[in-house]
Amino acid sequence: MAYRIKDKVGFLVEASKILSSSLDYNVTLLSVARLVVTNIADFCMIDLIGENGILHRVASHVADPKKREIAKQMFDYPPDPRNKEAIYTTASSGKPILIAQVTDEWLKKASKIPEERNVLKKLGVISFIFVPLKSRGRVIGVLTIVSSHKNFSYSRDDLTLAEELASRAGIAVDNARLYTDAQEAVSTRDEFLSIASHELRTPLTSILLQVQAVLKNIRKDSDEKSGSQRIIEMLEHTEQQSKRLARLINDLLNVSVIATGRLNLEKERVDLSDLVKEVLKRFSMQPKPLRIPVILKGAESTIVGFWDKVRLEQVISNLLSNANKYGRGKSVTIKIKKDKNDAVLIIQDKGIGIKEEYQKIIFERFKRGVSGRDYRGLGVGLYISRQIIEAHGGTITLESKVGKGSTFTIRLPLK
Ligand code: ADP
């Protein structure tokens, strides 16, 4: 908190060295915050733009150890788009803001929440700089720099230095984020490949064993008729396992079709109730039918839309298979109804439920909320389902409580 740096070039060179010394995302964020507070500020915060343009507070640092607890409270008030002349304004315009002297009037514009204004006052904010963190030509976040010294206000000169620092910090943070994402992607892929190979090998081994047994039987029973029933059973098992293998491979193909943006819909007139009944009939004709009772509600209504029948069938089958797999043998309720301009399909089970932390990610590719030891699967069913529903302009949402069950709601536009 020297505030004014004499050797600006030297400071920026040193800053670049510190910023490039780690690819660990959290270490880099902390380095930026420390660098700012050690050299030009009493307090600083970093907010990064996440999905849907929403800013998330990711780091803060305060010089005065007595103010640490107060500073932490700023995490209770992440940036609010209603606030003006502050973080969101810099994030959306990409332009820095200098508030040389904080006034009550400005504070009221910059924070609509009285409690937050209180925390800022306790921090003793006097002068503010908001600078955009930029990388690869776009704003990725905002660096907030604060002085709380009564006799010190930031100037245009300080703003220029802060911008220089932020442009280096932006690249460092972005690189660390990309590196972390890449590492996560690699480990998800590795885990997926190990599950996929295991999943594909199981039916294949079973097919091989069955074929070998059939061959042995045919050779042994070539003169006797009595072996034919046993051979039929074996061939049926082989057929079942081959179908399972085909389904798994089909799922993987679907994932690659979606990844390359080639998911085409072949739309036709579809009656939702008839479609659900067809899927249920198909399940009942399988050698291993659903082990959970199904209660069907609203199937008497005619709800007709213009959709891809085969793909929707796939979605309903996926959700029913999951209800069967994770449903602890308890009944599943399927509801079909019309709501304004949407067809609504609800599949509700009373099974194991899904932890809150998993609810957001299980619609992503290869993400699972259970271990492969307890429940088999590739973690692509919900991903494919969501992609199909969204390609129709619809939505799929989830409500779930651990131990109580899960409810998946699909809304499909009728027009
Ligand atoms: P898979 O079942 O092969 O893992 P999905 O994409 O169909 O793949 O599901 C992803 C994850 O979502 C599952 O691993 C499981 O944790 C969770 N899940 C899906 N449906 C249900 C359900 N009805 N009840 C509880 N958990 C579910």
**pTM of the prediction?**
0.69
Return d(Cα 199, Cα 205) in angstroms, integer: 10
Residue nearest (by alpha carbon) to ligand 1 atom 17? 369
User: What amino acid occupies position 141?
Assistant: G
- pLDDT per residue as tens digits for the range 314-369: 999 999 999 999 999 999 999 999 999 999 999 999 999 999 999 989 999 999 99
Return d(Cα 272, Cα 307) in angstroms, integer: 10
- pLDDT per residue as tens digits for the range 251-276: 988 988 888 888 889 999 999 999 99
Ligand 1: centre distance to CA 256 (Å): 20
240 pLDDT exceeds 70? yes
234 pLDDT exceeds 90? no
Ligand 1: centre distance to CA 241 (Å): 21
Beta strands in 283-388 (DSSP E): 294-297, 304-308, 332-339, 342-348
Atom of ligand 1 nearest to the CA of 363: 6
The values of phi and psi at residue 196, to 5°, are -60, -45
Among 191-205, 221-235, 345-359, the minimum mean pLDDT is found in 221-235
Residue nearest (by alpha carbon) to ligand 1 atom 25? 353
Beta bridge partners of 306: 269
Ligand 1: centre distance to CA 362 (Å): 7
233 pLDDT exceeds 90? no
| Predicted pLDDT of residue 230 | 80
**Cβ neighbours of residue 206 under 8 Å, at least 6 residues apart?**
237, 241
| Predicted pLDDT of residue 269 | 96
227 pLDDT exceeds 90? no
Ligand 1: centre distance to CA 301 (Å): 29
Beta bridge partners of 55: 49
Residue nearest (by alpha carbon) to ligand 1 atom 8? 379
51 pLDDT exceeds 90? no
Give the percent of the chain with pLDDT over 90: 65
Return d(Cα 258, Cα 255) in angstroms, integer: 5
- Residue 328: left (phi > 0), alpha (psi -120 to 50), or beta? left
**Lookup: tokens for 145:** 């720099």
Whether residue 229 contacts residue 236, with contact meaning beta carbons closer than 8 Å, is answered with no
Residue nearest (by alpha carbon) to ligand 1 atom 14? 368
**Alpha-carbon 198 to chain mean position:** 25
Residue nearest (by alpha carbon) to ligand 1 atom 11? 368
Q: What is the DSSP letter of 333?
A: E
- Per-residue pLDDT band for 225 (boundaries 50, 70, 90) equals low
| Predicted pLDDT of residue 1 | 57
Atom of ligand 1 nearest to the CA of 323: 23
Q: How far is CA 163 from CA 55, 98, 187, 375, 409, in A?
A: 19, 11, 36, 52, 47
The mean per-residue pLDDT over the stretch 230-244 comes to 85
- pLDDT per residue as tens digits for the range 67-109: 999 999 999 999 999 999 999 999 999 999 999 999 999 999 9
- pLDDT per residue as tens digits for the range 129-178: 999 999 999 999 999 999 999 888 999 999 999 999 999 999 998 999 89
More confident residue, 48 or 234: 48
| Predicted pLDDT of residue 257 | 85
Query: Given ligand 1 and candidates 356, 362, 374, which is best to mutate, with the most ligand atoms within 8 Å of its CB?
Result: 362
Ligand 1: centre distance to CA 36 (Å): 45
Query: Given ligand 1 and candidates 291, 331, 346, 368, which is best to mutate, with the most ligand atoms within 8 Å of its CB?
Result: 368
Q: Would you tell me how many other CB atoms lie within 10 Å of the CB of residue 165?
A: 26
Ligand 1: centre distance to CA 369 (Å): 6
Whether residue 47 contacts residue 142, with contact meaning beta carbons closer than 8 Å, is answered with yes
More confident residue, 215 or 166: 166
Query: Given ligand 1 and candidates 254, 294, 333, 370, which is best to mutate, with the most ligand atoms within 8 Å of its CB?
Result: 370
The values of phi and psi at residue 401, to 5°, are -135, 135
Q: Is the C-alpha dihedral spanning 363, 369, 375, 379 positive or negative?
A: positive
Which protein residues touch ligand 1 with a CB less than 6 Å away?
Answer: 318, 322-323, 326, 349, 351-354, 362, 368-370, 377-383, 406
Return d(Cα 381, Cα 364) in angstroms, integer: 10
